[in-house]
């Protein structure tokens, strides 16, 4: 989460499309609640943080199913 700059990154929705997916990540710490959305990320620290959380779950997705 630190590498993704989650607590300081833009809140999202700067772009959206007709084909893809909106990735929504919520976070809570001692003093903040934050929601960030990114349209169809494919690389970068936000993508890696979300992918890590998906991998921790029982949800099994192929690369294509993520979008």
What is the per-residue pLDDT for 46?
A: 92
pTM of the model: 0.75
- 39 burial (CB, 10 Å; 0-12 / 13-18 / 19+) is middle
What is the per-residue pLDDT for 44?
A: 92
Digit-coded pLDDT (tens) for 4-32: 888 898 876 666 677 788 899 999 999 99
Alpha-carbon gap, residue 64 to 10, rounded angstroms:
26
- 34 burial (CB, 10 Å; 0-12 / 13-18 / 19+) is middle
What is the per-residue pLDDT for 67?
A: 63
Digit-coded pLDDT (tens) for 44-54: 999 999 989 98
* 46 sits in which H/E element: helix 45-56
What are the boundaries of each domain within the chain?
Answer: 1-60
């Amino acid at each position: 989460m630190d590498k993704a700059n989650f607590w300081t990154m833009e809140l999202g929705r700067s772009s959206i499309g007709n084909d893809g997916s909106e990735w929504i990540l919520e976070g809570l710490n001692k003093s903040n609640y934050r929601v960030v959305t990114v349209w169809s990320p494919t690389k970068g620290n936000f993508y890696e943080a979300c992918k890590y959380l998906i991998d921790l779950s029982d949800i099994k997705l192929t690369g294509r199913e993520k979008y």
